[in-house]
Structures are given as structure tokens and as C-alpha cells.
Amino acid sequence: MNPVKLSENVYWVGAVDWDVRDFHGYSTNRGTTYNAFLIMDEKITLIDTVKKSKKHDMIARIKEIVDPEKIDYIVVNHVEMDHSGSLPEMVDLIKPEKIICSKMGEKALLQHFHQEDWPYQIAKPGEDVSLGAKTLSFLETRMLHWPDSMFTYLVEDQILFSSDAFGEHLATSERFDDEVDQAILLEELTKYYANILTLYSPLVKKLIAKVKEMNLPIKMIAPDHGVIWRTNPGMALEAYDKWSQGKGDGNALIIYDTMWHSTEEMAKRIGSGLQDEGISHQLVNLRYNHRSDVMRDVLNASAIILGCPTLNNGLLPRMAGFLMYMRGLRPQNKIGAAFGSYGWSGESVKLLNSAMVDMKFDIIDEGLKVKYVPEDKDYVQCVELGRKVGQALKAKKSA
């Protein structure tokens, strides 16, 4: 149960969860980590804790360095249970002098654990806490992604403990960004932002601007999930900057569900139209793709084309569920279009367009619906719809 050294007297003492495959609806096919950090100084400090079921892993790692009862302070950057689930038992064990959290963090801790006698200390932005040789500074990051969220900055070591920002759901035996496959790292970083932080992109944009304005030297970013950024923290910062502005890659996603393959055949022809315009595209069948993986691709797409047949005056359940999920995350700055087959009522295209209007997509066509099985003339219209989307993407790029 080895702890891992980040810098002099700073250690990772968290836990790896190899088995988790679902995180409140987000598929975690590569597991995750719950990161906690120990700072050895005159005032020994624990930054965050772990999920309750992983408490013993964290304690075993701490014991490799120090008796847990000698810890003086606990910093709570975020109250969500994957980071604070073991907190009550750790407080009982450690009996800390201070539990340092944001103002909203204190409120959330009281609402979660109902412990009014804990030694709360509010971390005020711009107010430092001396540990002896090292100093902690705090940055409130409210609604990234909970009201209580904050960052903790270790001044002398230039380490940013970033809570749920800049992390990934990724279980590995390695702890640092330069030790893992970079393609997998980027994939999981993207998926994490897409499913956790897309809704808060305007706040992320302000935060990135604030960090740039502060000219904060950052040698290392230590998030609460995934690997620690020691070699290329700029990669995470630059990616967040791009995603927070809704900058797509100029490509299109055709996301669809199908009943008897008519809508699927329409999707293929729309793809042909995009190809005619030189637009990279991907067909995503919701029957075979998890919504959280689809959202990863939505984040980087510039156009979203939704296809679904009509079922009982509505949508197929998979598309209805995906739309509810995507609307909650509200991706920005997308071109949108809709299509689908129907039998006798044909409401699906209208419903798809309505959802995209709610998300403020730029709808470039009223949509295309075909009764029962498409004919050649219908396929011509499908190709034309793909071309229209492609032309709109090229016009947007050149604007």
C-alpha cells in the first residue's frame, strides 16, 4: 500500500477503484481513483479523503508516513461522497484541530453529516494558512461542479489541488500524466469534462481567465480523480479553455436510434452528403453506445444531427433518455438538424428540433421525415440534408 511522493513532504495517499463501472449514470469502464494528499509540515495536513469503502486503503498509505492521529488539519475541497464518505470516521480517528472548507462547504458538511461540533474553519479567498514551512492558499470555485467546490494551492511547491476539475475516471497503478498512454488520458479527460462540467462551461471559462490573470505558477495539478499532472499541466488547462468556449473540431455527429432500419439508412445517406462536402463525421447508434461515451464525442463536435422514428407520438426510449441527459448538460455552440421515419403521425422530428432549440443549437433545416421505408427520392433528400449541414459548418469556420 505504497504512498507516492509528489514533491518534498507531499504525498498521494488515495485509493484506486478498479471495479466501479457506473458513476451516477456515467460509464466508468476504466474504473477510477479517489485521490487524497498528505502534506508533512509543522501542521500535518490531509487534503481530501476518499469514498467510504476505500477508507482502509487511504489509512494504510498514511500509516506508511505518519500515525494518522498526528494529522492536524483536514482540507475538504469538495463534499460529494466519493471524496467525503470516509470523513466522519477520519475525524473520529484524527480529531483534527481544523476542518478547512469553503463557506458553502461548511453548510454542505452540516447537511451531509449533521456534526455541528466539528472544528470548521472557512477558507477565505486570498487568506493563507501557514503549515510551517509550507503555505496553503484557496480559490473558491463555486458550482464547479457543486456549490461547495474550491481549489487549494500549495504556494511553495506550486501544486494546485483542483478537486473535481482536470480529473479523469481512470484506475491505474501509475500516478502521473507522463506514465500513462496519452491517447487514453485525453479520451478520459474529455469524457470527464463532457459528462461532469459541460453544463458549467461559462464558469469554467471565467475560472481559466482568472487563473491567467493571477499568473499563478503551476508546476503540478493534483485532481481528486485520475492522474496527477506533473509533466504537462498545460494540456489540461488548454483543453478546458477550448471546451469552455464550445469550440468544436469542425466535424459532425449523426446520433440516431432505429426501429426497422429505415432511420439507419437515412443516417447513412446524410453521412454521404457530409462526405461530399469534405466533412468528417461519425454515425452513433444509441443501441450500442452509452450516453456518456456519446457526450464525449458531442463535446468536440461542431454539428449534431439527431435521428429517430416516431413511437406512440413520441420518441424511442433510448433517444428520449439521451435527449434528457444531453439537455441537462447543455452543450454549446452547435449546429443542429433532425430526421426520422414514421408510420402514421410523425412527431419525432418536431420533438428533436424542439430539444435542440432549447439547447440553443443553430437549426439549419426544418428536418426530414419519411413515411415507412425510404425510396430513392427520399435518399436524395437525405444526402441534401447532409450537404446543407456540411455547408453550414464550412461557412461557420470561415466566418
pLDDT of amino acid 211: 81
pLDDT tens series, the chain, 399 aa: 699 999 999 999 999 999 999 888 889 999 999 999 999 999 999 999 999 999 999 999 999 999 999 999 999 999 988 888 999 999 999 999 999 999 999 999 999 999 999 999 999 887 899 999 999 999 988 877 878 899 999 999 999 999 999 999 999 999 999 999 999 999 999 999 999 999 999 999 988 888 888 888 999 999 999 999 999 999 999 999 999 988 888 899 999 999 899 999 999 999 999 999 999 999 999 999 999 999 999 999 999 999 999 988 889 999 999 999 999 999 999 999 999 998 888 889 999 999 999 999 999 988 999 898 999 999 999 999 999 999 999 988 876
CA–CA gap between residue 209 and residue 310 (Å, rounded): 45
CATH number of 4-244: 3.60.15.10
Catalytic (active site) residue 80: yes
pLDDT of amino acid 210: 84
Catalytic (active site) residue 8: no
pLDDT of amino acid 395: 84
| CATH 3.40.50.360 is held by the domain 252-394 | yes
**301, 250 contact by CB (below 8 A):** no
225, 241, 256, 265: the active-site residue: 225
Closest CA to 283 of 296, 300, 269: 269
Q: Which value, in Å, is the radius of gyration of the alpha carbons in the chain?
A: 24
The answer to pTM > 0.85 is: yes
Query: What is the Cβ-side half-sphere exposure of residue 143, based on CA atoms within 13 angstroms?
Result: 10
41, 140, 164, 297: the active-site residue: 164
Can you say whether the dihedral through the CA atoms of 327, 329, 332, 338 is positive or negative? negative
17, 34, 73, 78: the active-site residue: 78
Which grid coordinates are listed for 256?
440516431
CA–CA gap between residue 283 and residue 267 (Å, rounded): 7
17, 34, 57, 145: the active-site residue: 145
Q: What is the largest CA-CA distance in the chain?
A: 78
Catalytic (active site) residue 83: no
In this structure, the strands spanning 45-47 and 37-39 are: antiparallel
The per-residue DSSP string of 206-274 comes to HHHHHHHHHT---SEEE-SSS-BBSS-HHHHHHHHHHHHTT---S-EEEEE--SSSHHHHHHHHHHHHH
Catalytic (active site) residue 24: yes
Catalytic (active site) residue 145: yes
Catalytic (active site) residue 72: no
**115, 91 contact by CB (below 8 A):** yes
17, 41, 57, 80: the active-site residue: 80
CA–CA gap between residue 107 and residue 128 (Å, rounded): 21
Q: Which helix (H) or strand (E) holds 9?
A: none
Closest CA to 228 of 135, 150, 166, 183: 166
pLDDT of amino acid 346: 84
26, 34, 120, 192: the active-site residue: 192
24, 92, 116, 213: the active-site residue: 24
Q: Is 87 helix (H, G, I), strand (E, B) or coil?
A: helix
Hey, where are the domains in the chain?
A: 4-244, 252-394
What is the arrangement of strands in the sheet containing 135-140, beginning at the earlier edge strand?
129-130, 135-140, 150-154, 159-161, 220-222
pLDDT of amino acid 247: 85
